[in-house]
Amino acid sequence: MRAANSSDPQTRYHRTAVFRAVALFMSLAASLAVVAAPAPTVTAIVHATVIHPELAAAAARSPDNTIVIAGNRIEAVGPSASARVPAGARIIDARGQWVTPGLIDGHVHFFQSGNLYARPDVADFNRWMPYSKEVARNQARLPDTFKVWLASGVTSVADVGGPLWNFQVRDAARSSPAAPRVSVAGPLISMVARPQLDLGDPPIIKVDSPEDARALVARLLRYHPDYIKVWFIHRAGDDLAGQEAIVKATGDAAHAAGTRLAVHATELVTAKAALRAGADYLVHSVEDEPVDEEFISLAKARNVLYCPTLFVRLGYLYALSDTWEPTDAERRLADPQILAAMHDLDRMPTDVIPERALKLMQDKKAPGRPSVALANLMQVWNAGVTVVMGTDAGNIGTLHGPSIFREMAMMVEAGLTPLQVLRSATVNGAAATSTPDVGIIAAGKLADLVIVNKDPLADIVNMSSITHVIKDGKDFTPAELLRGL
């Protein structure tokens, strides 16, 4: 039997008929898909006072407004008297309540839990709780940690450093409706080693040269990180110029791929070196001395983001001295497993408690406030540098979720108004994420919102009086998110 010749009229006819049948089927399928597609769910939040943190104080509060949400986007915002609410819309009556954009935490770490066992390089509790067991708990508990963030009104976070499984965290958040939006960095490119944290997938990797840094960046870029992060630790006797060269090599390689550079640099000298080297995001305050004109000029020239993380050091001191106590918001909104572990020192034998913790427990000395960091926050804000609220949650004593209310209260203590703090946690925070359409309540933006019972502009702690959290157009209450945790 001979093979069919494609030039035969009969063959051409059959082939044309098959093509036409396939095209007709595809056209019908597309038409049916269009017909069958359900209309987007519509929700209307009516009679609310809407807070617009991007506006000046006189215009930031809009009373008796209605917000119409179609699918996952805001369709309209305006006075309730003239609002057009579509028939069949689900109504949330927010009379006597306030609506803000979803909160954004610009500095978290999912590989850490916030309990005593989060950092064995700082306080080694392995004889009581093996670090491997702690990290396995964090991985297994991830869906619940997501819910704790949402219950606290946080609809986006930036995880600025962790093991390679950080990228799985981002994937898990994208596939779960009950999760914040997650931007991530992979392992920290570091000036020092932290072998205590290395379980085969280290969160911190030491490099010794610009060439090492570029090679590590190339490996991390395969995972499409939202940031490349440098842990810039400078000690007496270290070659600052050599370290700056490593940061610059890291930043140049990241920027060539369109990825931003985040840097941990807590001293003025390292912060300025990081800015010269191309940092886009300083993830901590300058803590050792007042910022100067050179720093401000460098920060503004780089259009840098500045994240104060004011509470995190206090969290370590409270927890390791066994004087940590939950706030009201933490009692209501934190992961109950973590809350239950915060006073494990009360039941540990003395011989398994790290020396550092024993000393702090004996001293029972109240830690001082971070006065330099507090003053620098005001200097930086007043100079026009973009400040992003961030907690460094996951570190010992800084819990995922409701730790944001401690952080925001300290920002007010530094001198910011509640509106300015809210701006840092919404509009400015959006700049630290990879999602541009968040942080503002306006038509066309993603529907990430928080409804609260008390006025956050009167007292920023009122942001914890949450009744509803809407993320991507889906409505949650703290009670339903935390049920069964």
Cβ burial, residue 210 (10 Å; 0-12/13-18/19+): middle
* Radius of gyration in angstroms for the set of CA atoms belonging to the chain, rounded to a whole number: 26
Question: Which structure tokens are listed for 328?
Answer: 């009201």
**Res 365: pLDDT:** 83
DSSP label at residue 41? P
Look at residue 40 in the predicted model and tell me its pLDDT: 76
Which among 244, 173, 165 has a CA at the least distance from the CA of 199? Answer: 165
Each residue's pLDDT expressed in tens, for the chain with a length of 485 residues = 333 344 443 444 344 443 443 343 344 334 434 444 566 799 999 999 999 999 999 999 999 999 999 999 999 999 999 999 999 999 999 999 999 999 999 999 999 999 999 999 999 999 999 999 999 999 999 999 999 999 999 999 999 999 999 999 999 999 999 999 999 999 999 999 999 999 999 999 999 999 999 999 999 999 999 999 999 999 999 999 999 999 999 999 999 999 999 999 999 999 999 999 999 999 999 999 999 999 999 999 999 999 999 999 999 999 999 999 999 999 999 999 999 999 999 999 999 999 999 999 999 888 999 999 999 999 999 999 999 999 999 999 999 999 999 999 999 999 999 999 999 999 999 999 999 899 999 999 999 999 999 999 999 999 999 999 999 999 999 999 999 99
In the block, residue with structure tokens 């930036």: 158
Which residue is associated with the tokens 């098959």? 18
Class of residue 300 by CB neighbours under 10 A (exposed 0-12, middle 13-18, buried 19+): middle
Question: Nearest to residue 409, comparing CAs of 470, 304, 328?
Answer: 328
User: Within 13 Å of residue 109, how many CA atoms lie on the same side as its CB?
Assistant: 27
Query: Which residue has tokens 């994208």?
Result: 174
**Beta-bridge partner residues of 184:** 159
> Which of 362, 185, 213 shows the shortest CA–CA distance to 283?
185
Give the pLDDT of residue 82: 96
CA-to-CA distance for 61 and 358, rounded, in angstroms?
49
Pairing state of beta strands 188-190 and 227-231?
Answer: parallel
Q: Write down the pLDDT at residue 39.
A: 66
**Alpha-carbon distances of 477 from 171, 174, 178, rounded to whole Å:** 24, 20, 11
Contacts of 201 (CB under 8 A, 6+ apart): 163, 164, 165
Between strands 61-70 and 42-51, the pairing is antiparallel
Taking alpha carbons only, the member of 110, 219, 201, 218 closest to residue 158 is: 110
pLDDT at site 366: 86
**Residue 436 has which token pair?**
């541009």
| CA dist 243 → 152, 188, 276, 306, 378 (Å) | 38, 14, 12, 21, 29
Query: Which pLDDT score is estimated for 467?
Result: 98
Among 118, 143, 181, smallest CA distance to 354 is for: 118
How many whole angstroms separate alpha carbon 143 and alpha carbon 173?
8
Return d(Cα 34, Cα 163) in angstroms, integer.
Answer: 43
- Burial readout 394-433 (b: 16 or more C-beta within 10 A, e: otherwise): bbbbbbbbbbbbbbbbbbeebebebbbbbbbbbbbbbbbb
Whether this prediction's pTM lies above 0.85 is answered by yes
* Residue 250: φ, ψ to 5°: -65, -50
142-151 helix and 131-140 helix, angle to the nearest 10 degrees: 60
Q: Which class for 228: exposed (0-12), middle (13-18), buried (19 or more C-beta within 10 A)?
A: buried
CA distance 110 to 19: 52
Nearest Cα residue to 454 out of 153, 98, 51, 149: 98
Res 25: pLDDT: 35
Contact 116, 345 (CB under 8 A): yes
pLDDT at 439: 98
Distance CA 254, CA 154 (A): 28
Is the Cβ–Cβ distance between 371 and 432 less than 8 Å?
Answer: no
The reported pLDDT for the residue numbered 74 is: 98
